[in-house]
Amino acid sequence: MPNATWQHLRCALGGDLGPLCRPLDRARSRALLLLVLGLLAALLLGALPAVRGVLAADARAADRTARLHRIAAVVTGSVRPDATSPGHRFKGGDGVVVTWDYPAGYAVTARIDLPQAALQGGTVPVWVTDDGALADPPPSRLSLALLAVGTGTGLWLLTSAAVLAAYGLRRQVIERRGGQRWASGWAAVEPHWSGRLDGHPDSTSP
């Protein structure tokens, strides 16, 4: 295998001009070399954002958390028209109306799906922005790192697929060209080989 790899490399770079490295063979070797380089580039293209994202996950999670505030919101009732009795216990996932005061003196009412079971009149944690608007919880370092790895992997797969498709098309062109050259050469040689032009028809002919 190492010898074959070295021969392909020499042939692709024009360093081998022997009978086993015809122009068609050189085209095949160059296509194979470009395939290897393309797959390496695809791997690098996917690895760079993945590594950068994983390394930056801590800072990004901390930055997002610093711009949000976790406060206690009061459960005031159900989102359904039929009001529940005071002290009713809601299950996690139930849609309820909650209120909170943030910033100080600024009352906000919103509808949320409970992250956990809670009593009407009790409190549940919510995340809000600096102006008191409801926000999604900040992402964890792990989720950001997994997102970066997933993005890098997807980019690598897409780029690799494009490289393989380009290689397949190039090989088709090369093999088609090789077939045409073989047919042309055989058309020139066959009459002499069979003896038809020399007055000696092929003995296998009836």
- Measure Cα distances from 75 to 92, 134, 174 in Å: 12, 15, 71
Contacts of 132 (CB under 8 A, 6+ apart): 100, 102, 103, 106, 108
pLDDT of residue 2: 38
Q: What SS3 class is residue 132?
A: coil
In this predicted structure, what is the pLDDT of residue 138? 92
pLDDT at 28: 76
Burial 156-173 (b: 16+ CB within 10 A, else e): beebbeebeeebeebeee
Per the CB < 8 A criterion, the answer to whether 25 and 8 are in contact is no
Tokens of 117: 């079971």
In whole angstroms, what is the distance from residue 124 CA to residue 114 CA? 8
How far is the C-alpha of 37 from the C-alpha of 54, rounded, in Å?
Answer: 26
Q: E strand or H helix at 97, and its extent?
A: strand 95-101
Per-residue pLDDT of the chain (206 residues; tens, 9 = 90+): 334 555 655 565 555 555 556 666 677 778 888 888 999 999 999 999 999 999 999 999 999 999 999 999 999 888 776 656 666 788 888 889 999 999 888 899 999 988 888 888 889 999 999 989 999 999 999 999 999 999 999 999 999 999 999 989 988 887 777 665 555 655 555 555 555 555 555 544 44
| pLDDT of res. 126 | 92
State residue 203's pLDDT score.
45
pLDDT at 120: 86
